[in-house]
Chains A and B, each alone.
Chain A
Amino acid sequence: MISKQKRAGWLWVADVAGAALFAWGIADAVASWTGADGANSLALAAILAGGITRAAILLLVQRQAIAGAQASVLALRRNLFPRLLAQRGAIAASLGQSAVLAIDHAATIENYEARFVPVRTAATAAPLLVIGFVALASPVSAGILLATLLPFIVFMILAGTMARRASERQLAALGQLSGLFVDRIRTLGIIRHFGAEARITRQVQAATSDVAERTIDVLRAAFLSSAVLEFFSALAVALVAVYCGFSLLGLLPFPAPESLDLREAFFALAMAPEFYLPMRRLAAAYHEKQLGEAARLELDAIPAPPPPRPADAAYAALSVDNVRIEWPGSSIGPVSFGIGGTGLVALTGVTGSGKTSVLAAIAGQIGVTGGNITAVDPQDIAWAAQRPLVLPGTLHDNLVLAAPAAGAAEIQAAVRATGLDALLAGRDAGLDLVLDHRGSGLSGGERRRLGLARALLSGRPLLLCDEPTADLDDDSAAAIIALLLDESRRRAVVVATHDARLVAVADQTVHL
């Protein structure tokens, strides 16, 4: 099926008909004026109808274009969001970068689809249709328009290549500049603290004027292609005007293949600017094209998920054997350990040493570069995060995310075990407490307990905990440690932590 943005493009082609109606109206009005008929009501009607047609087509085109573009982007999001948020596989992007991919790039692609795709669709057919209309009145004028096309294309290729290189360099320079500017604004507090503001201000000023100078050099080339377009557009009008004028005067220096009357000549003249109009629209959308293509490339570069590891049977034991995980610029492991149906293993090491990555590898969420990990059915793994997920809904909804069938008694037990009952005691709504995705109203510690309660409720035999005691006060941390120790008698618990108190109670400690 043809997309709405493409259909919008074909509507743009129909715009030529409105232009022709308008041009005919003007030509007819002027021609009948010479016959001393005065104002001609048919011509007047054609002028108005032509204008209204063009206005209506423009509205329709843009409505179709945005609807189509948003439909495309919606489909893109349905595919992209789960890939970024819920797909196994290494996505070494920061949260900020993933927001850029999901939100800013999607907006850029919407712009591309809505502003560039329709004009590109129209860019070939519309000028040909203009030629056709002009040829009806004056084949030679149509020939003149066509003849300007060839040198136009040659110049466009020359200037366009220069312009493209230039504008790519410009984009890069601007990106660097705004990076520096944003960084210095963000760190302004510490810059002031060390009394460096005067120096850094001078540095920022030097960098901005340097980039401005370089950008201006670049623009000289970048604007050449629009100048070429402008020139040929003006040339087409001038050539048609001069040819038609000389033809009407009978002063053509060559034998005339056609004999024009004023109506035909004027129509050809009024249509001449329309010939380059689709290409001018295309040039105006060039920036959207460039950005849109760059965004698509980046989205396409998101790696495909690794093939799922088939799990043989229900969880019995986990063995991690000489596992290495490599990213560009960092290397984790080799790491080896084993755990049976119960017990507590602490993965410890400095921040950035890869504790969370090892947990993710055990869960099959990221691939490993070397070594072996027992394949565990994803349904057997519970995950308690450092900052757990909160979906908009009630506290109850959020507790049973991984165990929708949990009964009231089980929920009460998990709530008590994780100390969430203290939280509920202080609030009237109880389990019906309404939460938004920010978890507003929950403290960091309460949110952590929510994640743990959810993991316990899931009843899964392997529990992975990421920094369960980070930023907690001594009492809260001690309670969580006792809870994990207790759970480790019922199930296998693997924690990533740099808390010495938690490491001290573990059955086994793995240093990364």
Chain B
Amino acid sequence: MNHGVYDVTSHGHKADPFRLTGASRRVLLMALLSAVIAGLSAIGLLALSGWFLTAAAVAGATGTVAAFNYLVPSAFIRALAIARTVSRYGERLLSHRAALTGMAQLRGQLFGALASQDSRTAPDLSGGDASARLIGDIESLEDLVVRRPTRPANVVAALLAIGLTLFAGWPAALALALALAGLPLLLRRLAERLLRAPAVAAAAAQAALRIAWIDYAAARPEIIAYGLGDRVTAALIADAQRLDRARAALFRGEAAVASMQLGYAALVAGLVLALAEGGAAYVALALLAATASVEAMAAFARTAVRQASVEEGLARLAGLLALDGTPAADITAAPMMLALGAVRLAPGDRVAITGVSGSGKTRLLEAIAGLRPAVHAIAIGDVPIDSIDAGNLRAQTALSPQDATLIAGTIADNLRLARPRVTTTDMQAVLHIACLDARVAAMPAGLDTLLGEGGGTLSGGERKRLSLARALLANRPWLLLDEPTEGLDSATEADLVQRLGGWLDATGTGLLVVSHRRKPLALATRSLAIGDCETAASLPDQSMPAMARNR
């Protein structure tokens, strides 16, 4: 089993692994500044308007209109309206800029961290679910970064509101201060209580539903043939309703958090009113400032709501970012002897691995290629495979795996994976050996034909042959082929085997082949039962072989 699969949480990192740096950090600070201005002008606009109205009414009633300076406040009101708009736009744009550039950097870092792992011990992210979850985690982190500036801005706005409430006396201001200080705590508590369990349940139900769906969808012809549509639909709907219940609880929980905040705002307004003292204009100022300040705390509620569902994801990301590993060195090594069980194979040997289906032949090839930990007794150059670092291991082998494993990109991109600056002539040459040259030449875009994910536009047999051509380009001492002619008609298969034999002769490359078809087995000069690879001959471990020193 691979270690550290991507759902292990709890890494207990104290430091924030997602701290933005450099330019993104400066942008985020500017976003924060904009958010502060936006928060201040929103509260200022309402409070000043309230004060202005009341003071105007008082002046009108007491006949002191002439002494009332109405131009400054009314100009301020208009200025605040514009300031609120502009600063809010700035806040949104800048915080998104910071989040986007920060996340671009994070994706790069994450990928770099994952790429420099040894495949044998790396977290396994190859499953669609795991990689989709990784993307989801990054997106929710992006969302959190976007919201980051609003929280400190809310605090500044709250301070302004408390300051304005002071005009209505210190008891009102103190009450508002206490109420605002308690609100984030209350929101977090409530979110924690109402949302955490449904968030976890929803994620689990979603994953279970997806797995069940994939299984049933694969059996579609049988479902139709035996008229089982209703039964399967009923089974799936039962699964889906488990998901619905969790999602509904989550939704209602979010509503409860928002609802609590509305009630709280009214309560705070009532409290400020009850404790207020002084002139009517100042009471108006305090009342509107207090109301607006609770509303402004909405960002805390949103963050609290999001936090419950993203925390696990953040822990997962932190775990991946904390992986340390140095990229394997690129080494060109002399061909080494390969030992499987008690059998020692010299460079250039050609061996067929035999065994019934499910006996672990694929597993053996993948272990020799360094893709997964070995369960068989394998040694290269007399060193047990577990003690060989990734760089030295891959310098010996080139694998064409059972499922082809092509990358999304062009045919040439796939070939370049094995040799960076390969010439067109060389690409044509290996495609010819793989009997794919004519097919590629017939494509309008030739080598630049875009393949979808997993080799989309090619048939199964064509994907296999492209993967073979790629392995040939790598020029490594041992070629590992897993069912190389699966899906080929027998004429093409014969051509391929003959050309491949010629290539092996010319290059002196060693071969390990697994196939349930007979023709490719003819490439091998000897065969080895998979059962014989399980126990090791006594390996000379006293010497320090050349390869281990390269670490």
Cα separation A389 to B356 with both chains bound (whole Å): 25
CB atoms of A209 and B104 under 8 A apart: yes
- A-chain residues with CB within 8 Å of residue B135 when the two chains form the complex: 178, 181-182
How far is B215's CA from A61's CA once the two chains are assembled, in angstroms?
38
8 shortest interchain CB distances as A-B pairs: A51-B266, A86-B229, A473-B356, A62-B255, A351-B487, A389-B219, A352-B459, A351-B460
Answer whether residue B545 sits at the interface, using C-beta atoms and an 8 A cutoff: no
* A350 and B488 contact, Cβ closer than 8 Å, known pairs A47-B273, A401-B226: yes
- Within 8 Å of chain B (Cβ to Cβ): is A197? yes
CB atoms of B59 and A191 under 8 A apart: no
Interface string of B102-116 (1 = CB under 8 A from A): 011101100110111
Nearest-neighbor residue (CB-CB) of B488 within chain A: A350
Contacts of B255 in A (CB 8 A): 58-59, 61-63
Bound together, the chains give a CA A196 to CA B421 distance in angstroms of: 12
**Chain A neighbourhood of B122, CB < 8 A:** 188
Stretch at the interface among A236-244, A292-300, A422-430, A481-489: A236-244
Of all chain A residues, the one with the shortest Cβ separation from B251 is A66
User: Which residue from chain B places its CB closest to the CB of A15 in the assembled complex?
Assistant: B262
Contacting residues, chain A, for B507 (C-beta < 8 A) = none
* B14, CB-defined interface residue at 8 Å: no
Decide if A333 is an interface residue (CB 8 Å cutoff): no
Partner of A114, one of B251, B406, B407: B251
Contact between chains at B131 and A204 (CB < 8 Å): no
B18 interfacial by beta-carbon distance below 8 Å: no
With A199-B420, A205-B111, A389-B228 as contacts: A451 and B222 at CB distance below 8 Å: yes
> Across the interface, do A39 and B276 meet the contact criterion of CB distance under 8 Å?
yes
Q: Among B240-248, B335-343, B381-389, B495-503, which stretch is in contact with chain A?
A: B240-248
Task: Tell me the bound Cα distance from A43 to B488 in angstroms.
Answer: 85
Provide 18 A-B residue pairs closer than 8 Å at the C-beta atoms, listed in order of the A residue: A39-B274, A55-B260, A58-B258, A85-B220, A86-B228, A87-B229, A95-B214, A103-B206, A107-B206, A182-B132, A183-B453, A188-B125, A195-B394, A209-B104, A266-B284, A350-B460, A392-B235, A445-B357
Is residue A77 within 8 Å, beta carbon to beta carbon, of the partner chain? yes
The answer to whether A249 has its CB under 8 Å from any CB of chain B is: yes
**Is B324 in the interface zone, CB < 8 Å from A?**
no
Tally of A-B Cβ pairs under 8 angstroms: 451
Q: Which residues of B contact A269 (CB under 8 A)?
A: 49-50, 53
Question: Scoring B residues 216 to 251 as 1 if CB is less than 8 Å from chain A, else 0, what string do you get?
Answer: 111111111111111111011100110010011001
Query: How far is it, in angstroms, between the C-alpha of A378 and the C-alpha of B223 when the chains are bound?
Result: 12
A29 touches B273 (CB 8 A): yes
Q: Which B residues lie within 8 Å of A382 (CB)?
A: 225
Known contacts A63-B252, A385-B221, A190 near B405 by CB under 8 Å: yes
**Minimum CB distance partner of B249 in chain A:** A66
Which A190-223 residues sit within 8 Å CB-CB of chain B?
190-201, 204-205, 208-209, 211-212, 215-216, 219-220, 223
Stretch of B83-91, B150-158, B311-319, B535-543 at the chain-chain interface: B83-91
Contacts A22-B269, A234-B84 given; 10 further ones with Cβ under 8 A? A22-B266, A77-B237, A86-B223, A96-B128, A193-B369, A204-B107, A383-B226, A387-B219, A454-B226, A472-B357
Does A56 touch B at the CB level, under 8 Å?
yes
Residues of A within 8 A of B434 (CB): none
Contacts of B418 in A (CB 8 A): 194, 196
Knowing A99-B217, A194-B474, the reply to whether A189 touches B54 (Cβ < 8 A) is no
Which residues on the B side are within 8 Å of A383 (C-beta)? 221-222, 224-226
Chain A residues contacting B46 (CB-CB under 8 Å) are 237, 273
Tally chain A residues at the interface, Cβ within 8 Å.
Answer: 151
Pick from B100, B213, B398: contact of A215, CB below 8 A. B100
Partner of B273, one of A43, A187, A359: A43
Q: Does B328 lie at the interface of the complex (its beta carbon under 8 Å from any beta carbon of A)?
A: yes
The interface residues of chain B, by DSSP majority, are classed as helix
Interface centre among B54, B105, B288, B399, by most chain A C-beta atoms within 10 angstroms, is B54
Segment of B73-81, B184-192, B520-528 engaged in the interface with chain A:
B73-81
Contact with B along A392-435 (1 / 0, CB 8 A): 10000000011000000000000000000000000000000000
Q: Which residue of B lies closest to A471 (CB)?
A: B357
Chain B residues near A29: list those with CB within 8 A. Answer: 273, 283, 287
From A30, A56, A179, A189, B283 is in contact (CB under 8 Å) with: A30
Is A95 within 8 A of B111, CB to CB?
no
Q: Which residues of the other chain, B, contact A110 by a CB distance below 8 angstroms?
A: 247
Question: Using Cβ atoms and an 8 Å threshold, which residues of chain A touch B81?
Answer: 231, 234-235, 237-238
A256 within 8 A of B: no
Cβ of A373 under 8 Å from chain B? no
Contacts A188-B125, A350-B460, A351-B460 given; does A378 touch B115 at CB 8 Å: no
Q: Is the CB of B248 within 8 A of A70?
A: yes
Indicate if B344 sits at the interface (CB-CB under 8 A).
no
Which residues of chain B have C-beta atoms less than 8 A from A106's C-beta?
240
Name the residue of chain B whose CB is nearest to the CB of A88: B224
What CA separation (Å) do A135 and B196 show in the bound complex? 45
Using CB atoms, name the residue of chain B closest to A110: B247
Q: Inside 8 A of A475's CB, which chain B residues have their CB?
A: 356
Residues of chain A lying within 8 A (CB to CB) of residue B401: 190
